[in-house]
């Protein structure tokens, strides 16, 4: 009987030891499972993507001036629409395309209204300044007087011909055929006229109709009297043959040609 009690006591001790030996293992497993349950459950493929870096967009500023052209120094301002530049050892006279300023030195016309102001402005903007010239194939390279025909650009991208028209120091002028910047110059002239800038306020100027909106009717042919010059298709042809100019109310040839600038004279040289 005593041995039986000892055996039961020994078995109980073994059970207690076994239970205590297994307990840490269970506790560790539970801890690991608990930790695992706290980890993010979102799959990597469904993670929210980070914002991509913003790329700066650069827009190039368009320019129409001839960047490859040579810089030339203005050595003389003849008047508002004619200058002289130094090209190497040569002085070159340049007649500006699309710009007509009032005369100051033409003996046939005398000093016209706003002529001195236009000349002074040209001196102010151009004397001693470096400029670039742009040739327009539609106008040729030189006129019949040997003057180069060109647009004059400043280094800041402004076009001198247009600047003078927009400020009211000159008018848009189409000699014979449309030129590259004609629409821009007409728009500049309309802006100056609307603002009554320069000569549009100082001088009694009869506005010219916009040739795009309402073309001027061609004059009806008249029989030429015996004392008149030969008749040509255009002023350019008449001038090339050595004829002109013709004044309104004085020369019957005036009615044969279109007075583009409305000054009462056609086929001016």
- Residue 87 known to be catalytic: no
Residue 204 is predicted with a pLDDT of: 65
Residue 111 is predicted with a pLDDT of: 93
pLDDT along the chain (269 residues), means of 10: 54 50 42 39 42 38 58 96 97 97 91 96 98 96 95 97 98 95 98 97 66 64 68 87 86 86 85
Q: Which of 76, 87, 134, 147 is catalytic?
A: 147
Can you tell me which residue has the tokens 């000093």? Answer: 111
Q: Which of 92, 95, 132, 166 is catalytic?
A: 95
Residue 214 is predicted with a pLDDT of: 58
Tokens found for residue 226: 């015996």
Sort residue 159 into left (φ over 0), alpha (ψ -120 to 50) or beta.
Answer: beta
DSSP 142: B
Q: How far is CA 88 from the centre of its chain?
A: 29
Give CA–CA dist 117/104, Å, rounded: 10
Q: Which of 103, 117, 162, 268 is catalytic?
A: 103
- Residue 147 known to be catalytic: yes
As a whole number of Å, the CA-based R_g of the chain is: 45
Residues 153, 131 contacting (CB under 8 angstroms): yes
Check: pTM over 0.75? Answer yes or no. Answer: no
Residue 170 is predicted with a pLDDT of: 97
Give CA–CA dist 71/30, Å, rounded: 87
Residue 123 is predicted with a pLDDT of: 98
Tokens found for residue 218: 């061609």
- Residue 269 known to be catalytic: no
């Amino acid at each position: 009987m005593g041995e039986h009690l000892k055996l039961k006591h020994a078995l109980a001790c073994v059970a207690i030891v076994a239970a205590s030996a297994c307990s840490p293992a269970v506790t560790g497993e539970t801890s690991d499972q608990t930790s695992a349950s706290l980890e993010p459950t979102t799959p990597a493929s469904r993670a929210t993507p980070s914002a991509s870096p913003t790329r700066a967009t650069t827009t190039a500023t368009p320019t129409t001036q001839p960047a490859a052209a040579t810089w030339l120094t203005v050595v003389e301002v003849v008047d508002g629409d004619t200058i002289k530049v130094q090209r190497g050892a040569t002085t070159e006279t340049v007649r500006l395309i699309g710009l007509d300023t009032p005369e100051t030195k033409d003996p046939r016309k005398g000093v016209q209204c706003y002529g001195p102001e236009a000349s002074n402005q040209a001196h102010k903007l151009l004397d001693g300044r470096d400029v670039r010239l742009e040739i327009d194939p539609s106008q040729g390279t030189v006129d019949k007087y040997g003057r180069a025909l060109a647009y004059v650009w400043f280094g800041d991208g402004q076009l001198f011909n247009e600047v003078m028209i927009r400020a009211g120091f000159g008018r848009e002028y189409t000699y014979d055929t449309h030129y590259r910047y004609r629409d821009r110059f007409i728009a500049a002239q309309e802006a100056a006229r609307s603002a009554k800038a320069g000569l549009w306020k100082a001088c009694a100027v009869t506005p010219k109709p916009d040739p795009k909106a309402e073309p001027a009717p061609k004059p009806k042919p008249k029989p030429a009297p015996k004392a008149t010059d030969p008749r040509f298709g255009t002023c350019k042809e008449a001038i090339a043959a050595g004829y002109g100019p013709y004044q309104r109310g004085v020369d019957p040839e005036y009615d044969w040609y279109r007075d583009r600038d409305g000054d009462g004279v056609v086929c001016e040289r």
